[in-house]
Homo-oligomer: A and B are copies of this chain.
Amino acid sequence: MSTITAPSSLDDKLVAARSASRVLATVPTENKDAALRAIAENLVRSSADVIAANRLDLVAARENGVSEGLQDRLRLDETRLEGLARAVVDITGLVDPVGETVRGRTLPNGLKISQVRVPFGVVGAIYEARPNVTIDIAALALKSGNAVVLRGGSAAENSNRVLVEVIQDALASVGLPREAVQTIDEFGRDGAKALMRARGFVDVLIPRGSAALINTVVAESTVPVIETGAGVVHAFIDESADLELAEEIVHNAKTQRTSVCNTLETLLVHRAAVDRVLVPVLRKLRASGVTLHGDPAVRAAFPDSVEATEDDWHAEYGSLDLAVKIVASLDEAVEHIEAYSTHHTETIITRDYAAAEEFLARVDSAVVMVNASTRFTDGGEFGFGAEVGISTQKLHARGPMGLPELTSTKWLVRGNGQIRG
């Protein structure tokens, strides 16, 4: 199925992706798993080439004054490549969603109808300079029977080019079309724009990265988008909260890993819980180096906290910062969340059954928790085995996405001559 000359124009690449997707749609699971194992092996075998290409990107990043944190996200080494290869092999262990019957019945007229999972077809991904995403998205797309067109950050262009070659060689080695995984990085921003307008060629577009990137894709794309990511995550300490639970959960949600989207960003506290709960909770956070951005009541209790402004209620800090606000009631907490949340994850800490159920019912976010750390919003933690991202939209997928979220469905209707009367 592999072509002799690789497609070179963007249009050719999109046409080739559509064509490859038709092949992939009906490839048996065992062949897809063989491709994943070949990719993992080729990653390890080609590690010197990948690392050499990655070094070019790292040198350029340093010259361009890219931050240490971003350089670290960009970096690939033997250990990281082995980790990526293992993650690809792990995907062979996941259930293939394609072909699953979602529901079905026999109609009174004898028609047998069944709704079965099918691949989307061609998945587009637009992301930033994290070459691990290239491998990750390609492997998940392949397992779910999709072709994929990748547009990574330009700062990772050398790394991604070699990684895609590694994947394509592996696909060819097991008889699958190379064009099932392609990069369009060489077309720069124009390529990204064209991908967003490639209706009929790309079935769904998944942006992964900053809020700015995601907003651009949502605004520009005529291809359907699954929004992922941005998390202005709230915890609400209710009047009845258990002190120890509040201390542990808030501390874990804020400090266990600060750069990820399920990290706590705003703490809301019932005013009746300030002396009993808030004071020790904040002391524990302060001891771990957390900077508090408080409303006036919080600043009265913690004079060295920073004054919170309107921006703080919108902030996804990604750092050891926390906005803290005292509210008069669960109602006010829910209203604050409604006004400022990105509807990713919110948790309530309470001993009150009615408050717990009311919070679960009224808060309109992808994941709503009682007495648990927001850090659990994660495909791995939810038992999906792999995570495509965390959807913060309401259409198609909401919350952590696994392989089934990379599929659509179609209805099969088996008859024996039925006509409509």
Interface residues of A (CB under 8 A from B): 22, 25-26, 105, 107, 111, 113, 115, 118, 120-121, 199, 203-204, 218-219, 222, 224-226, 242, 244-245, 248-249, 251-253, 256, 338, 347, 356, 360-362, 364-373, 375-377, 381-383, 393-396, 398-400, 408-420
Contact A372 B418 (CB under 8 A): yes
Contacts of A338 in B (CB 8 A): 22
9 A-B contact pairs sorted by A residue (CB < 8 Å): A224-B393, A248-B417, A253-B419, A347-B413, A364-B410, A366-B410, A372-B415, A375-B420, A395-B395
Cβ contact of A394, chosen from B121, B248, B366, cutoff 8 A: B121
Number of copies: 2
Contacts of A361 in B (CB 8 A): 26
Complex Cα–Cα for A417 and B226 (A): 32
Contact B415 A370 (CB under 8 A): yes
Contacts of A400 in B (CB 8 A): 411
Complex Cα–Cα for A107 and B400 (A): 15
Contacts of A199 in B (CB 8 A): 218
Contacts of A252 in B (CB 8 A): 419-420
Q: A115: shortest Cβ distance to chain B, in Å?
A: 8
Complex Cα–Cα for A244 and B419 (A): 12
Contact A411 B399 (CB under 8 A): yes
Contact A420 B25 (CB under 8 A): no
Contact B395 A408 (CB under 8 A): yes
Complex Cα–Cα for A375 and B111 (A): 12
Contact A370 B419 (CB under 8 A): no
Contact A412 B375 (CB under 8 A): no
* Chain B: CB-nearest residue to A224: B395
Complex Cα–Cα for A27 and B417 (A): 45
Contacts of A362 in B (CB 8 A): 22, 25-26
Complex Cα–Cα for A376 and B356 (A): 46
Q: A247: shortest Cβ distance to chain B, in Å?
A: 10
Contact B416 A410 (CB under 8 A): no
Contact B224 A373 (CB under 8 A): no
Contact B420 A371 (CB under 8 A): no
Complex Cα–Cα for A225 and B395 (A): 9
Cβ contact of A413, chosen from B107, B253, B370, B412, cutoff 8 A: B370
Contacts of A373 in B (CB 8 A): 418-420
Contact B381 A107 (CB under 8 A): yes
Q: A95: shortest Cβ distance to chain B, in Å?
A: 13
Q: A112: shortest Cβ distance to chain B, in Å?
A: 9
Contact A413 B368 (CB under 8 A): yes
Cβ contact of A396, chosen from B22, B356, B360, B396, cutoff 8 A: B396
6 shortest interchain CB distances as A-B pairs: A372-B415, A252-B419, A394-B408, A375-B420, A396-B396, A369-B413
Contacts of A409 in B (CB 8 A): 398-399
